[in-house]
Structures are given as C-alpha cells and as structure tokens.
Structure 1
Amino acid sequence: MDDEKTYPIGDVARRTGLSVSAIRFYADTGVVEPSAHTSAGYRRYDVEAIARLELVRTLRDLGAGLEDIRRLLAGQTTVHELATAHLAVLEQEASRLRTRRAVLRALVRQRGSAERVALLHRVVSLSDEERERLIEEFWAEVSDGLNENPRFVADLNSAPPRLPDEPTLEQLDAWIELASLVSDPEVRRAVRADLNGRFSDGVGQLLVSPTALESYERGTPLLMDAVAAQRAGLAPDSPRAQELADRYLRWLGEMFGASFEDAATRREIAESLLLLEPEVLADLEREAHGPPATDPHERYQHLVQVINGTLKANHAELAGYAAAYTWIAVALNPTAAPTPD
C-alpha cells in the first residue's frame, strides 16, 4: 500500500472489513474523517486513516464505545488505559453471566419453583460478609448444646467456604447447594441432633474434650513423620519405623492413661490399624465417583472442599494418612502385613 496514495471508500471497505455505510458513519460522527475529497465530493482515505479505521473496527469488535474510541484517537487516553477499563467491565459481566448460568443450571437440575428462583438468586448474590455470616449462623445454631466445649465448637467451622473472585461453574454450583443446605431449617435440626447425639455426653464428649483435642495435636507430628517415612519407602522393620511405632504406642498410652507395650496389645492395635486404609479408600472412592452423600454433615464438608478447591488435596492427604496407618501396623506386628490382592 502506497503511503502517499489515497483510496476510494470502496477500496477502504474491502481493506478494513467495514461496510461503506459504517465508514461514512465514522466520518460523519468525527471518529475517522476522510483524508481528502475528490472534485465530485467523493471521500478518499490515506494509509493513516485506513489504519485508524482498522483500529476502530478492532475496538468495536471488543465492545468499546464510540466515545472511548474518539478519546483514544484524540490522544486523551491510551490503548492500555482503554483496555484496562474495558477489561474490568467485561470481567464484571462475565461474573454476572457465570452466576446466572449457575442459577439456571440449578433450576433445571432441581426443577425449581418460583420461590426456588428467588432463593437461588439471593444465595448467589450474597456478599463475602453475608456468606460468612450465613455459615457462622449455621454453626452457631447446630452447635447449640455443645457450648461446654468451646474449642470443639470453633473447630467445626475451622475451614469455612471461601468462594473465589472468579469461581468455576462447579464452585458456583457447590455454593448454591451449600447455601441452600445451611438455610434449610430441617437440615439445621438434623445436624444439631446428630452432633449432640454423638458429642454432648459419654464417650463422644470425651473424644472431643479439650484434653483429647490437645492430644490429637501432639500426635499430628508423629503421623506426619510416619507419612513421610512410608512415602520414602522406608521398610516397616527398619529402626526408624520401630522408633515411630513405639512413639505411636506411647502417644496412645498418654491419651488413654494406659500402657500398650505388651505384645498382645501391639498385635491388637496393629489389627485395628489395618482396617483403616481400606475403609478410608472406599469412602474416598465413593465421594469422588459415587452418588452425593445423604448425610447433611458429610455433604457440607464435601461442598466446602469443592468451593475452596481443596477436594483433591484433602483426598490425597487422607489417603496418605491411611497408608501411614497400615505402615505403622506392620511396624508394630510384621505378621499383620496385608496380603496383596
């Protein structure tokens, strides 16, 4: 293309992909004016004007408004500033579209009523503070009756759901289901009854007592050491494995106020530990590929992990703990080693 030459509007239309009427419109509104006119009044455009028209077309395709384009061409703003501002608008619109899609998907899946539409729209539109308050109110209500153990009550909501700024559709769907779950009075009553039935008295209360929770904390480094040793391929009959097995027995003894050093007790504990890994792996398989958990508390935990993006990491951590328990079991009693399938 000749830098000194001017071109008729038809050629400009073919070069830019704009229609003749669009080029005339941009000229009449002062966005890109012709470089010259023929004696008959026909518009002519030089290379610079054509480049400006190509930029206008690109920006219009990206959704920029005429006034913003006019300011850019007049040097009142930059491409970076225009793109930054327009990107923010598009991201907000994309967020709104994701939210609408998630609501519609939930309605289609649940065959929702008009009342359901209103509920879903409300729970999706909650601010971060409102989401936190909804979850806090849920745990405050379902933990009623467990107040004699404030630490356990606090631990119940130790990993609250945090919907990211740009959630995936899966995370939005999970938040919709979770918000609906915790807003349901029947679910709240069921979870409160379950927690009080398990932990308000008797053995359950002892298992979540401050003393027990502190003991679990002391046992965590031991278990992490066992996970690391098992993953490193350390043999269960090695001196390090025997040291960890002995530490495990001492930890149990401190928790229950008893001694577990005799051979019979070691075998019994080893046999119990061998049951854990198959159960844990079966639960993880069911959660990953099976139908949704029907227990509200279990479903809550699953949805929180989906929202927080920690589901795979938590599953891997649990599988590691389970394998470490099997490794400790064999260290305690070599004859208890599981047979390969």
Structure 2
Amino acid sequence: MDGDTLYSIGELARRTGLTVKTIRFYSDRGIVAPTDRSPVGYRLYSIDAVARLDLVRTLRELGLDLPTIRKVVDRELSLPEVAAAHAEALAAQIGVLRMRRAVLMTVAERGSTPEETELMHRLAKLSEDERRRLIGDFLDAVFGGFHAAPAFAGVMRSMTPDLPDNSEAEQVQAWVELAEMSLDPGFRAVMRRMAEDLAAEQTRRDMTGPRRDITAVVRDQVGPALAAGIDPASPQADPIVAAFTAHCAHLLGRPDDVEFRRRLATRLESVSDPRRERYLRLLAVVNGWPPPESLAPVFDWSVQALRVRTQR
C-alpha cells in the first residue's frame, strides 16, 4: 500500500466502516485531522488516519470521552494509564448498577411499599465505610457491654457481613435485606436477649470450666428424637426431655424444676426466632460461606415438649 496516497473522506469511510458524518465530526474536533486538501477544498487523509479511526472507534465503544481520546491518539496520555483509570471507573459503575438491580429485584419479589423501597435504595447506596458503621451500630446494640469477653469477640466476627467489591447480584440483594433487618428495633431486641443469655451462660462456664453451650446440648440430644419421628408430647419423649433439661440446668447452675423448664422454653423460642435464622442465611450469602444448618425444627420440637410438660 502506498503510504503517500491520500484518501477522500468518502474513501476513508469505506475503509473504516464509519459514516462520512462521523469522520467529519472527529475531524472537526481535531481527533483525526486531514493531511491535505484537494484543489477544490475537500479534505484528504493519509493511510495513518485509518488506524487512528480504528483506535478512536474502539475507545469510544469502551466508553471513553472525546477529550480523553484526543489526548490518547495525540500521545499526550498513556493508553495503559487511561485504560486502568477507566476500568476503575467502570468497576464503580458496575457496583452501583448491581446495587440498583438488587433493590429492584427485592421490590419485585417482596411487593415492597414506596417507603420500604426508599429505605432499600438508601441502604444500597452506602459506601463501604457507611456499611461498616451501620453494622457496627447493630452489633453495638446487640453486644454492647460484652465486648471485653473473649467469647463475644468470635461471635461478633461471625455476625459481621463483608460485602466484596466484586460481589454477585445475589450477595448485593442479601446485603440490602440484611442491612434492613439490622435496623429493625424488634430484631435488635431479640438478638440482645440472646446475647444476655449467652453472657450469663459464659459467666457460669468461667466458674465451672469449659462446657458445651445450650444450643449444642439441645441439638445433640433432641436431633435423634426428631429424626426418629418421636412426638414431643408422647411418653416416648419423656426421657429425652429429662436428659436435655437436666444437662441445661446443670450447665446454668439451676434446679431442673417447672420454672426452669418454662424459662428454658422461652429461651429456645428466642433462639429459634425465624429472623435470627434469616440473618444467618443472608450473612452466609454475603460472605460467601456455606449455608448454615437450620436448627429451627430441633428448637420447635424442644419448645413443644417443654410447654406440654410445664402445663400439666
């Protein structure tokens, strides 16, 4: 190909696939300047204009603005530096779009009111620091005053969501719902009661040495009965109830009487609150953890068994 050959704007359009109007637009802005003009004043371009226009088209398709493109093609800016900066900007835009999509999906699935939609939208727009402050406020409301206890440091870490920068839509949607839950005063009160029970249990454990917690006791002793299909109100359940209530009473340093069983039933009802399990499931999605085991059936069986025997 003859490097000295000059091309009219029409010929350049045929070689690049761009319209004459588009090439004239780029030419008027100095991005692809003509090399010369014909005797009658028509613009003429060298073969270099083809490569330049191909680069311009690529950069435009990638979303770069014209002033930046002009600096790139004129070598005033390094293309790798521009690409890195633009990729970073696109990542931020993608994050915003994921958040918006999560809100819209949640609204569609839940049939949210305008007020709920506004709240979810505000939660979705929070920065990373704002997200951390929101969850920090929730954890303070639940565990305030217990922070110094070693047992609670691990519990608080296990309750903390950490939405990754490259999160999937499912993670974003889970974060929005989880954040909304963390603002619910009723949910905070339920979680606070559980923290207080755990603190009392921890105090007893510190005095008597390491022991399994009540949740583990109930899960291990009631699980087989549930799997075997034993009715919690039946006589076959009596030895199972006697075993786990005796163990829990010993764990807490209380007599295994009717009043203790009533309190234990209330505590297990609190632990089995569906909002707590929902929070843990959402937390697993946000953090990319395996889904947690559902203990609701075990707790429900235990509560039914205790209620029947404390009403006699």
Q: TM-score, normalised by structure 1?
A: 0.62
Deviation at 1:215, TM superposition (A): 5.8
Aligned identity (percent) is 36
Residue 44 (str. 1) matches residue 23 (str. 2): no
Mapped to 2, the partners of 1:166 and 1:200 lie a distance apart of 37
The answer (yes or no) to whether the contact 2:27–2:33 under 8 Å persists in 1 is yes
Residue 302 (str. 1) matches residue 281 (str. 2): yes
3-state SS in 2 of match to 1:44: strand
Structure 2 CA distance for partners of 1:210 and 1:193, relative to 1, 3 Å: same
The answer (yes or no) to whether the contact 2:161–2:283 under 8 Å persists in 1 is yes
Counterpart position of 1:100: 100
Structure 2 CA distance for partners of 1:41 and 1:184, relative to 1, 3 Å: same
Structure 2 CA distance for partners of 1:140 and 1:74, relative to 1, 3 Å: closer
The answer (yes or no) to whether the contact 1:191–1:297 under 8 Å persists in 2 is yes
Deviation at 1:56, TM superposition (A): 1.1
Residue 58 (str. 1) matches residue 37 (str. 2): no
What is the one-letter code of the residue matched to 2:280?
Q
Mapped to 2, the partners of 1:131 and 1:168 lie a distance apart of 17
Q: CA offsets per residue over residues 124-180 of structure 1, 9 Å max, x none?
A: 222333323332332333346x84993333332122111111211111011111111
Structure 2 CA distance for partners of 1:208 and 1:299, relative to 1, 3 Å: farther
Structure 2 CA distance for partners of 1:310 and 1:93, relative to 1, 3 Å: same
The answer (yes or no) to whether the contact 2:96–2:125 under 8 Å persists in 1 is no
Mapped to 2, the partners of 1:165 and 1:148 lie a distance apart of 28
Unmatched 5+ stretches in structure 2 = 213-219, 229-271, 295-312
Counterpart position of 1:150: 149
- Aligned 1:283-294 pairs, distance under 5 A: none
More displaced, 170-179 or 74-83?
74-83
- Aligned 1:317-336 pairs, distance under 5 A: none
The answer (yes or no) to whether the contact 2:162–2:286 under 8 Å persists in 1 is yes
The answer (yes or no) to whether the contact 2:56–2:69 under 8 Å persists in 1 is yes
Q: CA offsets per residue over residues 225-279 of structure 1, 9 Å max, x none?
A: xxxxxxxxxxxxxxxxxxxxxxxxxxxxxxxxxxxxxxxxxxxxxx969949x79
The answer (yes or no) to whether the contact 2:147–2:153 under 8 Å persists in 1 is no
Mapped to 2, the partners of 1:42 and 1:169 lie a distance apart of 53
What is the one-letter code of the residue matched to 1:24?
R
Mapped to 1, the partners of 2:82 and 2:109 lie a distance apart of 40
3-state SS in 2 of match to 1:31: coil
Deviation at 1:13, TM superposition (A): 0.8
3-state SS in 1 of match to 2:44: strand
Mapped to 2, the partners of 1:37 and 1:128 lie a distance apart of 56
Structure 2 CA distance for partners of 1:126 and 1:32, relative to 1, 3 Å: same
What is the one-letter code of the residue matched to 1:12?
L
What is the one-letter code of the residue matched to 2:156?
N
Residue 5 (str. 1) matches residue 5 (str. 2): yes
Unmatched 5+ stretches in structure 1 = 217-270, 280-292, 319-341
What is the one-letter code of the residue matched to 1:117?
T
Mapped to 2, the partners of 1:303 and 1:123 lie a distance apart of 15
Mapped to 2, the partners of 1:138 and 1:272 lie a distance apart of 33
3-state SS in 2 of match to 1:311: coil
What is the one-letter code of the residue matched to 1:301?
L
The answer (yes or no) to whether the contact 1:10–1:20 under 8 Å persists in 2 is yes
- Aligned 1:234-273 pairs, distance under 5 A: none
Mapped to 2, the partners of 1:139 and 1:33 lie a distance apart of 62
Structure 2 CA distance for partners of 1:39 and 1:155, relative to 1, 3 Å: same
What is the one-letter code of the residue matched to 1:297?
R
Structure 2 CA distance for partners of 1:29 and 1:199, relative to 1, 3 Å: closer
Counterpart position of 2:182: 182
Counterpart position of 2:162: 162
Mapped to 2, the partners of 1:20 and 1:64 lie a distance apart of 21
What is the one-letter code of the residue matched to 2:11?
D
Mapped to 2, the partners of 1:192 and 1:21 lie a distance apart of 67
Counterpart position of 2:243: none
What is the one-letter code of the residue matched to 2:178?
L
The answer (yes or no) to whether the contact 2:205–2:211 under 8 Å persists in 1 is no
